[in-house]
Amino acid sequence: MKRFYFFALISIFLISGVSAQEENPIKFKLEKSSPNTYQLRLIHPDNFGVQKDAPHRILMNPGPGLKVVSADLKLKGKTSTRKKEYFETVDPMQVKLEGKGDLEIHAKIFYCDYNRNICIPGKILQKEVIQ
């Protein structure tokens, strides 16, 4: 009987660990719009919204050979029809870069899954190669 409880307890920890490591549905897409100008887009599924007044944080860490000249990383966009305190879509953010190299994007974005009715601060670490 003690073995059964031990295995049940281990199973619960394993299952909760797997579900806690779900992949973040929020991603960035960096698109080149002119020689040194890029558009940073926040991509999320249709059933998600991004919180309007949350303390979002987006940091860009350029590697050797790359320089961030300017970046407007404030979230703006269309208000959600489901919940007024969320963005339905986020407008592209303009980023100017000089040089070539690796760019790391570190972010903490507060979003809501409307289907599951939960709101989560999502941590994003994304690497881009600028050529």
* Domain span holding position 118: 27-130
What is the model's pLDDT at position 24?
85
Q: How many domains does the chain have?
A: 1
**Residue 65 covered by a domain:** yes
**Residue 5 covered by a domain:** no
The set of residues, in sequence order, having a beta carbon less than 8 Å from that of 115 and lying 6+ positions away, is 47
Q: If you write DSSP's letter for every residue of 5-52 in order, what string do you get?
A: HHHHHHHHHHHHHHHHTPPPS-EEEEEEEETTEEEEEEE--TTEEEES
What is the model's pLDDT at position 4?
45
Instruction: Give the mean pLDDT of 48-66.
Output: 96
| C-alpha R_g of the chain | 19
Residue-wise pLDDT for 71-114, tens only, equals 999 999 999 998 899 999 999 999 999 999 999 999 999 999 99
**Residue 12 covered by a domain:** no
CATH of the domain at 108: 2.60.40
Which of the residue ranges 2-6, 32-36, 75-79, 114-118 would you say has the lowest mean pLDDT? 2-6
**Residue 8 covered by a domain:** no
Instruction: Give the mean pLDDT of 56-80.
Output: 96
**Residue 16 covered by a domain:** no
Q: Check pLDDT > 90 for residue 3.
A: no
**Residue 66 covered by a domain:** yes
What is the model's pLDDT at position 72?
94
Confidence of residue 8 (pLDDT cuts 50, 70, 90): very low
Q: Check pLDDT > 60 for residue 18.
A: no
What is the model's pLDDT at position 12?
46
**1 versus 43: which is more confidently predicted?**
43
**Residue 57 covered by a domain:** yes
